[in-house]
Amino acid sequence: MSNAMDERGKALEDEYFRRKEREAIEKLRAKMSAEEQAKVAAASALQCPKCDGTLEGVVVEKVEIDVCNTCGGVWLDAGELEQLSKRETGGFLSRLWGSSGE
């Protein structure tokens, strides 16, 4: 009878440690996944051509432009200058140019 109890105790102990190992493996997988996602996000961030800072998207007049978080430089993608300077929409640059006596 004690032999059956010992076997049952050993089986419960084995199951406990298997469960703990699975939990530890899942935690490690989640940590590795989070680290991999952080690496991908860092790699996809644009670098400033002037100072190698990171470019962050800022919305101006419904147009997303890139601004360096280090030097403050502003970088425009194709077509963004035209969108900002449209006179019929009263864009940011057209207001700026209009105020300079044009």
Phi, psi of 57 (to 5 degrees): -75, 130
Same domain, 62 and 92: yes
Same domain, 90 and 68: yes
Same domain, 2 and 38: yes
Same domain, 38 and 66: no
Joined tokens for residue 57: 């998207």
In a domain, 49, yes or no: no
Q: CA angle at residue 49 from 80 to 94, to 5 degrees?
A: 25
Provide the domain count of the chain. 2
Same domain, 32 and 60: no
8 Å CB contact between 91 and 62: no
Greater confidence (64 vs 30) lies with: 30
8 Å CB contact between 80 and 65: yes
- Give the domain extent around 76: 55-98
In the chain, helix, strand, coil percent, each to 5? 55, 15, 30
pLDDT of 31: 95
pLDDT of 43: 62
The tens digit of pLDDT for each residue in 13-24 reads 999 999 999 999
Instruction: Give the integer Cα–Cα distance in Å for 65 and 57.
Output: 6
pLDDT of 25: 97
pLDDT of 6: 86
8 Å CB contact between 57 and 65: yes
Same domain, 38 and 62: no
